[in-house]
Each structure stands twice: as C-alpha cells, then as structure tokens.
Amino acid sequence: MRTAEPPAPLTPAARRSPRGLGRLCRTELLLFLREPAAVFFTLVFPMAMLLFLGVAYGTESSDGVRYIDEYVAHIVVTVAINLGVLGVAVNIAECRVSGVLRRYRLAPAPMWWFWLSQVVVGLLMFALAVCALLAVVAAAYGVVLASPAAFALAVLVGLAFTFATGVLLGSLDLSARGVQITGTGLFFVLFLGSGAAVPRDSFPDWLRTLTAFNPMSPVVDASVDAYLGRSMVSELPGLALVLAAAAALVLTARSKSTWEGNR
C-alpha cells in the first residue's frame, strides 16, 4: 500500500515554476522505487524471462530468425502492459482510496501535474527496463533492432493504450485490492492473448482468430516486424485503432469515473 504522505501543497509561485512539477515527479519516482513488487515486475521479472528463455531457446532459429530476436520485442511489450495495467492503475487507486488524490485537487497546483507525473515516471521506468534488456541482449546475443523508429512507434502506441487502461481502471469506484485483482486478470488477458507470451502463429486457427481482437495483438506483431526489419504496414490500421481506443478510455475516465472515492 502507498504509505508515504503526498507532497506539501505548493505555493502559488511553485505553481508557475517547472521546479514544482519536477519535485512532484521526483516524489512519485521515489514512491515507485519504494514498492518492491513494482520494481521487481518492471525490472527483474522481464530480465529473468529473457535470461531463462535465452538459455533454453536463444540460439534456435526458424526461417532464419533466432527465437531470442523475436522474443525481445515480446518482453518489451510485456513491460508496457505491466506498467500501465498494473502499475498506473494500482497507484491511482491507492491515491484515490487514501484521500491523496483529493489533497492533490485542493493544492494550489494544476491537477494535470499529477497525471503528467504518472506518465513521466512510467516512461522513465519503461526506458530503464528496455535499456537494461537491450544491454543484456547485446552482450549475450547481439541486438538486431533493424528499424528503431518503427519499433518505437509500435511500442509507444502500446504504452498509450496500457496507460489509458490503467487510468480508467484506477479511477473506478473499486477498492485498491479490487483494482489489483482486476488489473492482474486483465494483464494476463492482454499478455497471453496478444502473443507476448507464446507467438500467435502457434495458436490453433480458432484461437488465432479470437485473439486478433486483443488490442495488444497488433502492437506485438508490429513491434516484432520492426525489430526484425520487416515491413509493418499491414499493422498500421490496427495500431490506429489501438490509439483511438486509448483516447476513448481516457475520455471515459475523465467524464464518468470516481476520482475521490472513500473506500
């Protein structure tokens, strides 16, 4: 549970100064780092998956593509799902339930600072996790990353959707425990059903057709294609729909969600 007190109300001068926003981001980052589970599943768990699967299947290849080269993109998307659906959702829920969010709203600072701080901390931890993963892959197997710009585009679309999902889930009138349980279930749906755990090519036809509607499926497919240097033009319509869905989730959270519950 989130036990640290929120930052002291900012003065009107701090409201106009970017230093106030910087202090808020620093506070949120420290709170994140004080959560062992959050740090483990963001930094340690993906690395453990990479090393375990790399030792077991890393040098195996199919159609000239090593298994590890395809799975790097899968793990990056897994980190994005974890940060958004679990990290952001649980943090917002704990702020809402404990009354911290109410105090943010009463502070002489724009409320969008709080939301921006969540994005900044999430992106920072995501970048740290991805850099660590790529460093290990580079040392052990060599990094492919044939199309960095296209890869970044696919991953950022996935981040937008998972963060939007986390914002909506965390703002619902549920207890923090309820949000955590719901988020865990949703994480596995997005993780297993998108092909991030097991490539969808190995699914039976009926399951491949069903999981095509998973919002993270085009993100996984596009990130794999970009990482390997293949064209991801066929995934662009799917990515556009995922981005539109992310915008719809944010608007829903803003207009209909309970921000100041007392659970």
- Please report, in tens digits, the pLDDT of each residue of the chain (263 residues total): 555 555 554 444 444 566 778 888 888 888 888 877 778 878 888 888 887 877 776 666 667 778 888 888 899 999 999 888 888 888 888 888 888 777 777 777 777 788 888 888 989 999 999 998 888 888 888 888 889 999 999 999 999 999 999 988 988 888 888 988 999 999 999 999 998 888 888 888 899 899 989 999 999 999 999 999 899 999 999 999 999 999 999 888 887 666 554 44
Q: Which residues contact 35 (CB under 8 A, 6 or more apart)?
A: none
Using DSSP's 3-state secondary structure scheme, residue 108 falls into coil
pLDDT value, residue 5: 53
Indicate the residue type of 138.
A
pLDDT value, residue 175: 86
pLDDT value, residue 2: 54
The gap from C-alpha 31 to its chain's centroid, in whole angstroms, comes to: 17
User: Alpha carbon of 149 to those of 48, 145, 146, 154, 175: distances in Å?
Assistant: 27, 10, 9, 9, 40
The gap from C-alpha 247 to its chain's centroid, in whole angstroms, comes to: 15
CB atoms within 10 A of CB 120: 17
What is the value of pTM for the model shown? 0.84
